[in-house]
Amino acid sequence: MNFKALEEKKEVHLLNRESLRVNGVLKMHSLDSNIFDFDTSLGRMKVEGKNLEMQSLDIDKGILVIKGYVNKIIYLDKQKEKESFLGKIFK
């Protein structure tokens, strides 16, 4: 793992909702033409859209480029997910 990449500023760059570049990518969990799910140094991220495809992925540099029509970019917060789940149980 490139520790210098972890110290740099993290960016999510979306151009015309058709090209997305994310740095700080650590691990890819799943992907298909509608959803990309991966870990970044700032937390888990999910990208949703249509006709999504991975243009490039360089885990050593932490860079992911996705082409297609992007509808949503979401950071998933594990703590909030746990609270929400527990909140539903104890209602």
Work out the number of other CB atoms within 10 angstroms of the CB of residue 31.
Answer: 17
pTM above 0.85, yes or no: no
Mean pLDDT of 73-91: 66
Q: Does residue 5 carry a pLDDT above 50?
A: no
Residue 33: predicted pLDDT: 97
Give the separation between CA 52 and CA 67, rounded to whole angstroms.
6
Residue 87: predicted pLDDT: 59
pLDDT digits (tens, 9 = 90+) for 49-66: 999 999 999 999 999 999
Report residue 9's pLDDT band, with 50, 70 and 90 as the boundaries. Answer: confident
